[in-house]
Structure 1
Amino acid sequence: MGNQKKNFIKLVSAAGTGYFYVKRRNPARITTKLEFRKYDPRVNCHVLFTEAKMK
């Protein structure tokens, strides 16, 4: 359990507000890009958040 490699990824709002969430992802288990429908407080509604690399 302690040997699993997990990466941090950034979920960026598709509304273009610059708001983002940070999430951990295990690249050995999940190989596709993540997309979630989450709340963006800057536009006050749920929007699509897509995966981007952390800098």
Structure 2
Amino acid sequence: MGQKKKTASMFIRLVSAAGTGFFYVKKKNPKNFPQNSKLEFRKYDPRVNRHVLFTEAKMK
């Protein structure tokens, strides 16, 4: 049997800056981003009914 390939992407958690505890899960390819960069997106938070900043956090 052959060896399995290592996956290049990893899962990250995007946590709402509004403090609601709402989060999205997204794949990130570390080869395309420098080590120290954290992803930030403006996405919809349904708990406050508006678009807010979501920042990257590690999966638990």
TM, length-normalised to structure 2? 0.83
| Residue from 20, 25, 28 that aligns with 2:28 | 25
2:42 matched to which residue of 1? 37
Following TM superposition, the consecutive aligned residue runs of length 4 or more in structure 1 with deviations greater than 4 angstroms are none
1:13 matched to which residue of 2? 16
Unaligned runs of 5+ in 2: none
2:58 matched to which residue of 1? 53
Q: Do 1:40 and 1:47's aligned partners in 2 also have CA atoms closer than 8 Å?
A: yes
- Give 1:48's aligned amino acid: L
SS at match of 1:29: coil
CA deviations over 1:11-37 (Å, ceiling 9, x no partner): 000000000000000001112110000
CA RMSD of aligned residues (A): 1.3
